[in-house]
Amino acid sequence: MRITPSRLLRIPEPFRASRSKLISTALRRGLRKRCPHCGEGRLFSGWSHLERCSICGLIYGRNPGDTWAFTIIGDRLPLAAMIVLIYFGVVRSHRILGLTMLVVLAALVVWTAPNRWGAGIALHYLSRVYWPDPADLIPPPPATALAGDAER
C-alpha cells in the first residue's frame, strides 16, 4: 500500500517507520483492554464498553456496530474449537476428557471475552489508521503514554 502524506499523519509518530510495530502494539493494548491509540485509557468499565478513551479522547467505535465484524471473528474461534471437539467425537469416545475440555473452553470463552473484544476494537482502530476517513479525527496520543510504551 502506498502511504500518502495524509495517511502518514494518522499513524502515531513512533510507528511511522514500522507498520508491524504499530499493529503488534495496538493488538497488545487491545488484548490488555487498553486504548489501542495511547495504551493508557480503559476500553471497558466492568462488562460494559466505554464510548471513548478517558486519556486521549479516541472514540472507540464511531458508529454502532463498527467493531461487530472483528468481535464476531474473535467470538467464533473458541466456539469453532468446541464444535470440532464434538464433531470429531472426542466427547463421545473420551467422555470425561471431552466434557472437561468443553467446560474449560466454555470458561475460557467467557473469561477472555473482554480481551477478545479489546482485540476487535484494536483491529477496528488499525483499519481507521490505514484506511482513513477525513471525517474521522484520531486525536494525537499523549506524549507520556508514548514514552512509557516505548520503554516496554
Q: Please tell me whether residue 41 binds Zn ion under the rule CB under 5 A.
A: yes
- Report the residue from 43, 55, 119, 122 that binds Zn ion according to the rule CB under 5 A: 55
Q: Please tell me whether residue 142 binds Zn ion under the rule CB under 5 A.
A: no
From 10-18, 28-36, 68-76, 97-105, give the range in contact with Zn ion by CB under 5 A.
28-36
For the chain, give the DSSP string: ----HHHHHHS-GGGSS-HHHHHHHHHHHHHTTB-TTTS-SBSEETTEE-SB-TTT--BS-SSTTTTHHHHHHHHHHHHHHHHHHHHTTHHHHSHHHHHHHHHHHHHHHHHTHHHHHHHHHHHHHHHHHHS--TT--PPPPPHHHHHHHHH-
From 9-17, 37-45, 79-87, 116-124, give the range in contact with Zn ion by CB under 5 A.
37-45
Contact mark string toward Zn ion, 90..129, x via CB under 5 A? ----------------------------------------
- Report the residue from 11, 26, 53, 138 that binds Zn ion according to the rule CB under 5 A: 53
- Report the residue from 26, 56, 126, 138 that binds Zn ion according to the rule CB under 5 A: 56
Type of residue found at 21: K
CB of 134 to Zn ion, least distance (A): 21
